[in-house]
Structures are given as C-alpha cells and as structure tokens.
C-alpha cells in the first residue's frame, strides 16, 4: 500500500456520564494516520488515550465527531456491519493478553477466523504460520497458563494478525511485561509494522518510542503535541 | 449439569416404569379382555359371582331371564365388538351325601375363552353327564378326575378339576348349560351372561354397551367386572398423571437451573465476550456460542440422564411398581430425551444469550 490517509478523525468528542456529572474524555480531537504508520498514543492516566483507541477500534461510538477509515464513516455503519468492519480491518492486542484460558495457542489464534469462510484446515494452517512467525512454532498446543507473559503476548499478536487486517490496535502491550520481554515485543511490533500493517499503540512506556514512527501526546482529551521519528528499520 | 442429569434420569425412570406398567396392562387386557356381566333385576340378587351379585336366594327363587332377551342385546351397536358371549345358569344342587353345591351351567367352548387363566387337571367335560369341579369342592366331595358322584339325583363323572385359584371358583361345580336348565326345570332361562370385549380398548366398548343397555326397554342390566387388573389400571392412570406432573416440575426446575448456570457462565466470561465482539463477532455469533455451549451441556446431561434413568428403571421397577415384564431399551426414547433436553437447555439459555449478545464490548473488555 502507498502512503495515504488511512484514518481520519474529525472533531472527536466523547462525554461519559458519571452519576449526575459529565466527564469529557475527548474534546474535539482531530487526527490523521497514514497507511503503514506506527503511532504511539501517550499521555497520563485519564488523558483519553484509551478512549481514543476504542473509538478508533469501532468499539465505542463517540458523542460527537467522525472517524473515517478508508473513507468509511465507521459510526454511520449499523452495529452489526461495524462488527463485520472490525473483523476485516482491525486486530487487537490487549494489556492482559486476553487469551481464552481453555483454548490452546493455535486455537486462540484461530478465534477471529471462526466467523469467516475459511475451512478448519485453512484456519489451523494460517494460525500455525503466524505462531511460527512470532517465534512460537514449537508451542502450538500449549494452553495460556503454560506460556510465559512474553509468549502469551506473542500469541495475542498472532491473533491480531490472523485476519490480515490493515490496522492493529495495541493497548499497553508491554504493560505487564519485564524490560527484556518488552523490548522483544516492541521489536516484533516493529517487524509487523514493516510488513505494512498500521499499528496504533497506547503506551506509558517512553522506551517504546524508540520503535514507533510517530508519537501523539494527549492531555485532557486533546492533542498536546506530536513527534515524528525516522527509523532505520530492522535488517 | 448434574442437576439436569438427575432431573433427566428421574423423568426417564418414571417414563420407563409408567410405560412398562401400561404395557403390562395392555398385554393383560389383550389376553383377557374386558368383561361385563348381564343380569336380570340385579338389585334383587345376592349371589356374589366374581364380585357381582347375581342371585338373592338361588334355592328358592332365582332371578332368571329368558335367553330370548339376548336377541335384544345382540342388536346393540357395541355388541359388534364382543368377542365371546358366555350365558350361565346358576343353581344349587345337593349330592347324595347331602352336601349343597353351587352349580353353574355353561357352554364350555365359550367359557374357556372367558377364563383364559383356568388350569385344568384332567380335561373339560365333553358329555352332558360330565362336570368340572373347583379344587376345594373336589376336596370336600372327596373325588378326583375320573370319579363319579350323584347330584340333582343323577350320576356325574368328574372330567376335570381346576387348579386352585384362590377365589370363589374353587367351590363351584361347572356342567353343561342345557343339562342344568333341564335338571332344574329352567329351560331357556339364564342367570347371567358374561361378555368379553377384546383388547385394551375393550373398556370403552364395554362401558358403551352398558350405557346402551340401560337406555333400551329391557330389565337387563350390565356391570363391568372389576378384577385386579382393573384396579391396577386405575393405579397406573394415577401413576402416569403424577409422573407427568413431576416431569413438568422437573423441566421447569431444570430450565431454571440451566438458565442460572448460563447466566453465571455469561458473567464469568464477560471479557471473553468482549474479545469476541472486538474481533467482529456479530450478536448472532455470540448467541450461537452460548446456545452451542448450552446444547452440549444439555446433550451430555440428556445422554447421561437417559442411561442412568434406564438403569434405575431396570433395577427399581420390579421393586417400586411390581412389574414383571422387562424394561425396554428404546433408542427412539433415548433420541427424544436427547432432543428434548437440548431443546430445554437452549430455550433456558435464551435470556443469558440475549444478555451476552447485548453486552457493551468496551465494558466487557474491561471486566477483568
């Protein structure tokens, strides 16, 4: 894919009702993300970065504003069509990995394919290929509790990629990992990004900025500043 | 799942026992049929024959009726279903040794169809001077098969003796109807007629004939013979009704258990549902997952419950219901149990499934 705007956010506002009070999580935020970018959303707790991630992920309708992905206004889609859109366009990696505890690594990776048209054999092959890609070629049949934190994160990344989505969302992917494993995971994300996946990652960890192409700093529901980085890329 | 399994096992046990009891009764009625007694002026009689009063004082003035009245009987609509007609004359005779004997004149060819349970030592009478004796009567008269004795001032030969039945029949003497009519000067007269309606549906036909008989201009009256099987039939009907009610209660409780289990499962797996939604599962997919799980649980419970229930029925039925026939392992029943338990499980999971499908994905993901 060439460089073009993949995601365009216009005047995004999200207000949560908390009892009789209203909390403005996002205040008229505007943001554009190009195809193939690796963007870090940074900011203090409560700044609105996770809310932005869920809104970009078509999971959380905004109070106001538009989110265009590939020129499609995703919140104008009916709820179930939006689910289809997520299936096609998006992969998710969560901080707590969120692997299904009673499914093996390969079954967890196959999960997003369960509602697709691929045969069971095709699903298994695809999942195994991805597990090999993230370095778990010898742990297909391990249950999540038989894997280390870093390995579980790798399974979660493989699951996010299994539908070949153009966008991968990651919410604090290294938040539950030690420094060494975090580094390995970020290298993996960088590798994935270089394969033309667009990655949008919420993180607190400034060391992760060594791997991203752009950082968007959010404060009080607004963009405080943006930094772009030139990366040499992995050899 | 254990609750569903036990509930299913209970239903299967009750159903199997009820079915076996009904089958046993059907076999009995198929074999013996339903019997009614036709008598004249029943309220004036006092002889108890098979539970029915047939004569007030046979020695002095029995209530007899002409066999021509059978013609009126034969014109009733329900008469077509009658399998056997056995006319009888009841009288008492005195032996040459002064022993009073209650005697019944019958047509042996018809009577054996009525009394399928008779076991005879010797044989049935084939000549008019031969008699068939009840076991106790034979003992009282001190006669055996082939012996002779005098009654009604005539010599009779003992053709056969009934094996002990434990009923009034042990004290009766049976001889040819026409012979007894002749000996007692009651030509063409009868004390009663016993009618047999074949099969399990004979009860309805018998009741119908009694009803028809009561509406025509005749002094005859019909009464259904209330034998032990009749009492058991009533018992089985009650048992079947109670079983049905218990089944309904179990299904309701089972549904509630299943619904509660699935609600609990949905709550425990809220974040899983969030994952599913994040990865593009539609609401119908989420509901399918819940239904699939409920279906699997129910099917396992149904299969286990069927096996356990059948085993319980096999071992418990002879004790609980005094059933002699064996419990039948019917695969069709097993299939029905499986289908019904799955249906109940899936229906009971409807509300939890809808709840799961409508979970907010963001809240569900943050549930942990």
A158 to chain B, closest Cα gap in Å? 13
Mean residue pLDDT across chain B:
83
Cβ of residue B332 closer than 8 Å to a chain A Cβ: no
Cα distance between residue B198 and residue B196, in whole Å: 6
pLDDT tens digits for range B261-310 = 888 888 888 888 999 999 999 999 999 999 998 899 889 988 998 888 88
Q: Which residues contact A233 (CB under 8 A, 6 or more apart)?
A: A190, A194
A189 neighbors A173 (Cβ within 8 angstroms): yes
Longest CA–CA span in chain B (Å) reads 108
pLDDT beyond 80 at B46: no
State the best of A115, A157, A164 to mutate against chain B, taking most chain B CBs within 10 Å.
Answer: A115
Check residue B328 and report its DSSP letter: P
Query: Do the beta carbons of residue A123 and residue A113 sit within 8 Å?
Result: yes
What are the structural domain ranges in chain A? 5-228
| Distance to chain B for A52, nearest Cα, Å | 12
Give, in degrees to the nearest 5, the angle at Cα A165 between A130 and B275: 80
Selecting from B272, B278, B281 the residue whose C-beta is nearest the C-beta of A92 gives B278
Interface of B with A in 28-57 (CB under 8 A): none
Please judge whether A59 and B277 are an interchain contact, meaning their C-beta atoms are less than 8 angstroms apart.
Answer: yes
Distance CA B195, CA A70 (A): 91
Same domain, B92 and B66: yes
Q: State the smallest CA–CA distance between residue B363 and chain A in angstroms.
A: 10
Contact call for residues B162 and B124 (beta carbons, < 8 A) = no
The total number of residues shown for chain B amounts to 368
The last residue of one of the domains, among B152, B172, B197, is B197
Mean pLDDT for the stretch of residues A111-140: 91
Average pLDDT of B74-100?
Answer: 86
Residue B60 reports pLDDT greater than 80: no
Question: Is it the case that residue A18 has pLDDT exceeding 70?
Answer: yes
Mean pLDDT of chain A: 90
Tokens of residue A3, six digits: 């460089």
B134 and B57 fall within a common domain: yes
CA distance A94 to A210: 20
Residue A1 has pLDDT above 50, yes or no: no
More confident residue, B21 or B48: B21
In 3D space, the residue among B225, B193, B234 whose CA is nearest the CA of residue B207 turns out to be: B225
Q: Is B324 helix (H, G, I), strand (E, B) or coil?
A: coil
Write phi, then psi, for B63 (nearest 5 degrees).
-85, 100
Task: Quickly list H helices, A29-101.
Answer: 49-56, 79-89
- Cβ atoms of residues B169 and B144 within 8 Å: no
CA nearest to B64, candidates B215, B224, B186, B225: B186
- Both B78 and B19 in a single domain? no
| B194, pLDDT greater than 50 | yes
Instruction: Reply yes or no on whether the pLDDT at B57 is more than 60.
Output: no
Give the structural domain span for B62.
34-197
Distance CA(A17)–CA(B34), nearest Å, equals 78
DSSP B95: B
pLDDT of residue B197: 83
Same domain for B182 and B86? yes
Asked if B166 is an interface residue toward chain A (Cβ–Cβ < 8 A), one would say no
**B86-90, B248-252, B352-356: lowest mean pLDDT where?**
B248-252
pTM of the model: 0.65
* pLDDT per position as a tens digit, B309-336: 888 888 877 777 666 667 777 788 888 8
* Interchain pair A100, B275: CB under 8 A: yes
Report CB contact under 8 Å: A98, B285.
no
Contact B64, B217 (CB under 8 A): no
Nearest to A133 by CA among A201, A212, A200, A188: A188
SS3 content of chain A, % helix, strand, coil (to 5): 35, 30, 35
Tell whether B142 and B267 lie within a shared domain: no
B153 and B289 inside one domain? no
SS3 assignment, position B334? helix
CB contact under 8 A, A84 and B282: yes
Give yes or no: residues B122 and B172 share one domain. Answer: yes
Interatomic CA distance for residues A192 and A136, integer angstroms: 15
Residues of B in contact with A166 (CB under 8 A): none
Task: For the beta carbon of residue A136, count every other beta carbon within 10 angstroms.
Answer: 22
Residues B85-94: what's their mean pLDDT?
90
Region B81-89: mean pLDDT is 88
Domain boundary among B140, B174, B197: B197
Residues B102 and B148 in one domain: yes
Chain A residues closer than 8 Å to B282 by CB: 80, 83-84, 115
**pLDDT of B45 strictly over 50:** no
DSSP-derived secondary structure for B137-189: HHHHHT--TT-EEEETTEEEEEEEEEPP-SSGGGGEEEEEHHHHHHHTT-TTE
Indicate the CATH number of A5-228 among 3.40.50.300, 3.40.50.880, 3.30.210.10, 3.40.50.170: 3.40.50.300
**Is position B220 within any domain?**
no
| Residue A177 or A73, more confident | A73
Q: Which residues of B touch A114 (CB under 8 A)?
A: 281, 285
Chain A residues whose beta carbon lies within 8 Å of the beta carbon of residue B274: 98
Please state, as a whole number, how many other Cβ atoms lie within 10 Å of the Cβ of residue B185.
7
Per-residue confidence at A147, pLDDT binned at 50, 70, 90? very high
Tokens encoding B38: 């036709």
B271 part of contact set with chain A, CB < 8 Å = yes
pLDDT above 90 (res A108)? yes
Closest CA to A145 of A115, A101, A80: A101
Nearest chain B residue to A60 by CA: give it: B362
Question: Is the pLDDT confidence value at A76 over 70?
Answer: yes
Confidence check: pLDDT of B88 > 50? yes
Q: Select the residue of A60, A79, A86 nearest B279 (Cβ to Cβ).
A: A86
What's the rounded mean pLDDT across residues B167-173?
Answer: 89
- The answer to whether residues B171 and B268 belong to one domain is no
B115 near A CB under 8 A? no
Whether residues B277 and A83 touch (CB distance < 8 A) is answered with: yes
CB A58 within 8 A of CB A82: yes
How does strand A198-202 pair with strand A167-171? parallel
Three-state SS at B198: coil
Look at residue A113 and tell me whether its pLDDT is greater than 70: yes
Let me know: does B324 contact B21? Beta carbons within 8 Å: no
DSSP state string for A56-124: HTTSS--SEEEEEETTEEGGGS-HHHHHHHHHHHEEEE-TT----TTS-HHHHHHGGGGGSS--HHHHH
Q: The tokens of B152 are what?
A: 């009604």
Q: Can you tell me the distance from the alpha carbon of A54 to that of A158, in angstroms, rounded to the nearest whole number?
A: 20
| Nearest residue of chain B to residue A96 (CA atoms) | B368
**Number of separate domains in chain B:** 2
CB contact under 8 A, A112 and B280: yes
Place of tokens 């019909």: B222
Using CA atoms, how far apart are residues B329 and A11, in angstroms rounded to an integer?
A: 71
Domain identity same for B168 and B78: yes
Residue A86 pLDDT exceeds 50: yes
Considering only CA atoms, give the Rg of chain B. Answer: 32
- Averaged pLDDT, A99-118: 92
What residues pair up with B134 in beta bridges, in sequence order? none
My answer on whether B280 and B315 are in the same domain is yes
Q: Which residue in the set B283, B361, B368 is minimally distant from A96, CB to CB?
A: B368
Q: Is residue B269 part of a domain?
A: yes
pLDDT in tens, B110-124: 888 888 778 899 999
CB-closest option in A85, A94, A115 to B365: A94
Residues 6+ apart with CB under 8 A from B344: B251, B254, B255, B258, B298
Q: Which of A125, A60, A117 is nearest to A87 (CA)?
A: A117
> Which residue is closest to B367 within chain A, CA to CA?
A98
Per the structure block, which two tokens stand in for B357? 């499908």
**Chain A contacts of B276, Cβ < 8 Å?**
111
Question: Does B153 share its domain with B283?
Answer: no
- Minimal C-alpha gap between B360 and chain A (Å): 8
Please report where in the chains the tokens 């993901």 appear, as a residue.
B365
Q: How confident is the model at residue B226 (pLDDT cuts 50, 70, 90)?
A: low
d(CA B124, CA B118): 11
Residue of chain A whose alpha carbon sits nearest to that of B359:
A59
Q: What is the mean pLDDT of residues B183-200?
A: 86
Q: Suggest the residue from A59, A75, A85, A117 to mutate for an interface test with chain B (most B CBs closer than 10 A).
A: A59
When scoring B265, B271, B274, B278 by the number of chain A Cβ atoms within 10 A, the one with the most, hence best to mutate, is B278
pLDDT band for position A19 (cuts 50, 70, 90): confident
Residues 6+ apart with CB under 8 A from B238: none
Q: Which pLDDT belongs to residue B328?
A: 75
Q: Where are the alpha helices (DSSP H) in chain B?
A: 2-32, 69-74, 108-114, 135-141, 177-183, 202-215, 228-268, 270-278, 283-320, 331-348, 350-357, 361-365
Burial bucket for residue B194 (CB in 10 Å: 0-12, 13-18, 19+): buried
B361 Cα to chain A: minimum distance (Å): 6
Question: Closest partner residue to A59 among B272, B362, B368, by Cβ?
Answer: B362
């Amino acid at each position: 894919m060439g460089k073009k705007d993949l995601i365009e956010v216009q005047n995004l506002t999200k207000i949560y009702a908390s009892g009789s009070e209203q909390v403005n999580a996002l205040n008229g935020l505007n943001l554009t993300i190009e195809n193939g970018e690796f963007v870090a959303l940074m900011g203090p707790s409560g700044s609105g970065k996770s809310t932005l991630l869920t809104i970009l992920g078509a999971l959380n309708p905004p109070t106001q504003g538009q989110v265009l992905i590939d020129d499609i206004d995703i919140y104008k889609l009916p709820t179930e069509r939006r689910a289809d859109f997520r299936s096609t366009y998006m992969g998710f990696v969560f901080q707590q990995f969120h692997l299904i505890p009673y499914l093996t690594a390969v079954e967890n990776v196959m999960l997003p394919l369960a509602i697709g048209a691929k045969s069971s054999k095709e699903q298994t092959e695809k999942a195994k290929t991805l597990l090999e890609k993230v370095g778990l070629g010898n742990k297909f049949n391990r249950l999540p509790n038989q894997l280390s934190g870093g390995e579980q994160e790798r399974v979660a990344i493989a699951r996010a990629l299994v539908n070949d989505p153009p966008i991968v969302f990651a919410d604090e992917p290294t938040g539950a990992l030690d420094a060494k494993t975090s580094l390995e995971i970020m290298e993996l994300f960088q590798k994935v990004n270089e394969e033309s996946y667009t990655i949008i990652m919420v993180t607190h960890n400034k060391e992760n900025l060594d791997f991203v192409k752009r950082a968007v700093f959010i404060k009080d529901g607004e963009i405080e500043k943006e930094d772009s980085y030139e990366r040499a890329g992995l050899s | 799942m254990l609750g569903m399994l036990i509930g299913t096992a209970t239903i299967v046990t009750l159903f199997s026992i009820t079915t076996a009891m009904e089958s046993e009764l059907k076999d009995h009625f198929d074999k013996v049929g339903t019997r009614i007694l036709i008598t004249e002026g029943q309220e004036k009689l006092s002889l108890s024959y098979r539970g029915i009063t047939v004569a007030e004082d046979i020695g002095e003035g029995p209530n007899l009726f002409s066999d021509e009245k059978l013609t009126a009987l034969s014109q009733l609509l329900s008469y077509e279903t009658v399998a056997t007609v056995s006319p009888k004359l009841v009288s008492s005779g005195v032996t040459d040794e002064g022993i009073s004997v209650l005697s019944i004149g019958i047509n042996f060819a018809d009577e054996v169809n009525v009394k399928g349970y008779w076991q005879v030592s010797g044989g049935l009478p084939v000549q008019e001077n031969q008699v068939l004796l009840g076991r106790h009567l034979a003992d009282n008269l001190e006669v055996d098969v082939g012996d002779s004795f005098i009654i009604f001032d005539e010599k009779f030969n003992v053709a056969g003796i009934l094996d002990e039945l434990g009923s009034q029949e042990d004290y009766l003497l049976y001889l040819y109807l026409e012979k007894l009519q002749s000996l007692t000067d009651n030509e063409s007269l009868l004390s009663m007629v016993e009618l047999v309606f074949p099969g399990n549906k004979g009860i309805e036909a018998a009741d119908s004939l009694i009803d028809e008989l009561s509406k025509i201009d005749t002094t005859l009256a019909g009464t259904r013979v209330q034998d032990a099987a009749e009492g058991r039939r009533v018992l089985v009907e009650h048992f079947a009704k109670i079983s049905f009610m218990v089944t309904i209660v179990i299904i309701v409780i089972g549904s509630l258990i299943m619904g509660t289990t699935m609600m609990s499962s949905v709550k425990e797996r809220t974040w899983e549902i969030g994952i599913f939604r994040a990865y593009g599962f539609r609401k119908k997919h989420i509901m399918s997952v819940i239904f699939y799980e409920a279906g699997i649980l129910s099917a396992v419970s149904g299969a286990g419950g069927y096996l356990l229930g059948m085993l319980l029925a096999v071992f418990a039925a002879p004790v609980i219901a005094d059933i002699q026939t064996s419990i039948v392992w019917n695969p069709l029943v097993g299939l029905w149990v499986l289908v019904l338990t799955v249906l109940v499980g899936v229906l009971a999971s409807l509300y939890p499934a809808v709840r799961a499908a409508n979970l907010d994905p963001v809240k569900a993901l943050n549930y942990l």
